[in-house]
A = this chain, B = another copy of it.
Amino acid sequence: MRTFDRIAVLVALLAAWHAASLYFGAQWITTPWVTAQAFWRALMRGDLWHHGSYTLSAAVLGFLIGGIPGAGLPFVLRRMHTLRAVLDPYLVAGYGAPKVALTPLFIIWFGIGLASKVALVASVVFFLVFFVTSAGLASVDQKLIAAARVFGADARLIAREIVWPSAAPYVFTGLRIAAPYAIGTAVVGELISSNRGLGYSIQAAATDFDPAGIFVGVVALALVVTGLNAALGLLEARLLSWRPDDKTVERAQAAF
């Protein structure tokens, strides 16, 4: 049923796309069919894999290098209230500083290869995950912590057994938001310097008057993000299985 509805929506979107292509002209928006053909060719030639794997490695590496400390540091800083309060405005400023404007520095520090894209992605993902995780930590029920302290749980155990599970929904939200940004930032990084990657291929297509090439790149990126999101969704469902199950939720929702 749902699958059916989704297909209906897909068809509607494709129709809208086609209409837009007719209206604005194929030099701006290639038709879905032309895009699909170009996509297929790029796939067969191995181009998509060649560029996609590069973008994906930059995104995934940066995601890990930025995301792990981004999710971990708030746990460390959690009990250092003063340190946290002192650092806060600088973290916010660091989050706000446009990394893309600092590309020359990234190039100086990390060269023009994969490393500079990874660093760029990591710097964006870090702040994002850091702030969302911090918000999650603020939502922990202090009574549960107090009870656990009473029976002798130490800081590590509390972090693992209480703070982490309560913050997990936030952390996942953060990761889900960060995933597309990781890809997006990798793409921007490639626009700045590269000879490989989906961002590069989009840019090359743009200067080469190849709108189909642009759309192939965009579609490929959208697919990659959808895939990443689905993977995170599965992971989340596994880790948060204690939440009232679908049945219960359905019940409660039907009740409203």
Contacts and interface: CB of A to CB of B under 8 A. Distances in A.
A146 B226 contact: no
Contacts of A5: 82, 86
Interface in A1-51: 1-2, 5-6, 8-10, 13, 24, 28-29
Interface string A195-217: 00001001000100000001001
Contact of A221 (B9, B28, B98, B158): B98
A110 interface: no
B100 A173 contact: no
**What range describes how many residues of A lie at the interface?**
35 or more
A193 to B, nearest CB: 14
B252 A146 contact: yes
A234 to B, nearest CB: 14
Contact of A142 (B108, B132, B249): B249
Tell me which of A1, A90, A97, A139 has the highest count of chain B C-beta atoms within 10 A of its own C-beta.
A97
A218 B106 CA distance: 14
Contacts of A102: 218
A60 interface: no
A183 interface: yes
Given A6-B86, A6-B89, A249-B142, A95 B225 contact: yes
Indicate how many identical chains form the complex: 2
A9 B225 CA distance: 38
B180 A96 contact: yes
A222 B142 contact: no
A170 interface: yes
Contacts of A183: 96, 98
A31 to B, nearest CB: 15
Nearest to A191: B100
Contact of A255 (B135, B149, B202): B149
A237 to B, nearest CB: 12
Contacts of A105: 24, 28-29
Given A5-B86, A255-B149, A98 B218 contact: yes
A253 interface: yes
Contact of A101 (B13, B94, B202): B202
A72 interface: no
Contacts of A218: 97-98, 101-102
Given A93-B223, A100-B187, 4 more contacts: A101-B202, A101-B206, A149-B256, A170-B173
